[in-house]
Amino acid sequence: MITVTRPYFPERKNFDRYVDAIFQSRWLTNHGPLEQELTRRLETYLGVKHLLLVSNGTLALQVAYRALGINNVVGQREPAEVITTPFTFIATASSLKWEGMQPVFADIDPATLCLDPAQVEAAITPRTRAIVPVHVFGNACDVEAIDALGEEHDLKVIYDGAHAFGATYRGNSLLSYGDASTLSFHATKLFHSIEGGAIIFKRKEDLERARKMINFGITGPECIEELGINAKMNEFQAAMGLCVLDEIEGNLESRALVWHAYAQAFQGNVQLQARQPGVSLNYAYFPIILESESVLLEVMQRLEREGYQPRRYFCPSLESLAFLGRPAADLQDADFQQPEIVHSRDIASRILCLPLFSGLQVSEILAAVRVIVDRHQKAA
């Protein structure tokens, strides 16, 4: 079975070299030498400053919220509202709810699949404290418009960049926008450290506060300055990250061959995600949008018979999940109006991500391409 993705495994001898260094240093965690090296190298590779490594991408979001203070609402009984997209992985929204905030969903642009700034603006209320957009499948949000809304309404902007590793926008890192951007280094990602993540802060003082937070708030042997949590990356995670970074160019080249083969085959046959002008490709995902959910289910069934396992990223649209919704008292508030979600729900019913990973050969995807193109041509 050709699955939608496979973790990248670097050369074993390279990993062994880093592991040998761990055994020599006897340093397993707590800001060890490999974690420090990975931080420096990622800042250079990504073209960013103020990067903080953490143990996973969900904690990256949660620590960013707390470091930026958006979960602290003094004198307000209701939870702070944070506007985000319903077309994303569950962690984007569940991390907000977990931290005691209320996700408010605004609709997406049906072409780029990213959060629509006009819908964000319409959803802003006196309770709104932040905006959490997502660079969906590595495609850039309208960062200028969203950052302008944050400045105009005094809102923090935290970009979920889980898919945006290495992506640039108009020549600069896509991760350099907003008050912070987060990354996931989960095993299935383009770049991974088995589990892991990172936060890129705009301001150094936010970085320093977050650095204390991820070590329980401890700043010295007998000094605990504030409430914290354990979100540190360990040395074995850093070792894997360094190995994958050593081989990143070959990884990208392999994925690019398959990505471009898909793009050429489907151009004019199937609806594809519209790329934001000025954003680079990082070949993280290849989504297609079919005519209807019934067609999608038929295509999935045929692909599985051919030995492929695509995934419905992202389904369901998150505004449909009751546990992410508002408390009953809010729903009875005459002033409350739930923003209408049309495009996210529609796209979630019709979108399919096709197999894409390093080592996959163009010859291995030809049968999948034929199934999809044939189905489209018959429908036409």
pLDDT in tens, 7-20: 999 999 999 999 99
Q: Is the model more confident about 303 or about 377?
A: 303
* Containing structural domain, residue 178: 2-246
Pairing of strands 168-169, 172-173: antiparallel
Give the model's pLDDT for residue 334: 47
| 355 neighbors 308 (Cβ within 8 angstroms) | yes
Q: How confident is the model at residue 154 (pLDDT cuts 50, 70, 90)?
A: very high
Q: Which of 88, 252, 270 has its CA nearest to residue 184?
A: 88
CA distance 42 to 47: 8
Q: Are 235 and 151 part of one and the same domain?
A: yes
pLDDT in tens, 172-223: 999 999 999 999 999 999 999 999 999 999 999 999 999 999 999 998 888 9
Specify whether the backbone of 277 is left (phi greater than 0), alpha (psi in -120 to 50) or beta: beta
Share of the chain above pLDDT 70, in %: 95
The Cα 75–Cα 229 span in angstroms is 25
**The length of the chain, given as a count of residues:** 380
CB 309 within 8 A of CB 4: yes
Amino acid sitting at position 41:
R
For the residues of 234-266, what is the DSSP string, one character each? Answer: PHHHHHHHHHHHHTHHHHHHHHHHHHHHHHHHH
CA dist., res. 173 & res. 187, Å (int) = 22
Regarding whether 267 and 207 lie in a shared domain, the answer is no
pLDDT at 81 over 50: yes
Q: Distances from the Cα of 128 to the Cαs of 46, 83, 345, in angstroms?
A: 31, 7, 23
Query: Is the per-residue pLDDT at 133 higher than 70?
Result: yes
Domain finish residue from 246, 272, 290: 246
Number of domains within the chain: 2
Model confidence at 376, in pLDDT bands (50, 70, 90)?
Answer: confident
Q: How many CB atoms lie within 10 A of CB 202?
A: 19
Query: For the segment 278-302, what is each residue's pLDDT rounded down to a tens digit?
Result: 999 999 999 999 999 999 999 999 9
DSSP lists the bridge partners of residue 245 as none
**Secondary structure class of 97 (helix, strand, coil):** helix
Say which residue the tokens 């790329």 belong to.
275
Residue with tokens 């931290």: 99
- Residue 333: what pLDDT? 54
Give me the CATH number covering residue 374.
3.90.1150.10
The residues near 309 (Cβ < 8 Å, ≥ 6 apart) are 1, 2, 3, 4, 303, 355
**Residue 72 binned pLDDT confidence (cut-offs 50, 70, 90):** low
Higher pLDDT, 108 or 76: 108
Residue 32: Cβ-neighbour burial (10 angstroms; 0-12, 13-18, 19+): buried
Whether residues 167 and 310 share a domain: the answer is no
Same domain (yes/no): 196, 253: no
Looking at the structure, do residues 242 and 253 belong to the same domain, yes or no?
Answer: no
pLDDT greater at residue 379 or residue 216: 216
Residue 378 has pLDDT above 80, yes or no: no
> Of 203, 222, 246, which marks where a domain is finished?
246
Same domain flag for 213 and 254: no
Distance CA 58, CA 55 (A): 9
The rounded mean pLDDT for the chain is 95
In a shared domain, residues 100 and 202 = yes
* 230 and 283 share one domain: no
10 Å CB burial of residue 219 (0-12, 13-18, 19+) is: middle
Same domain, yes or no: 112 and 232: yes
CATH number where 122 lies: 3.40.640.10
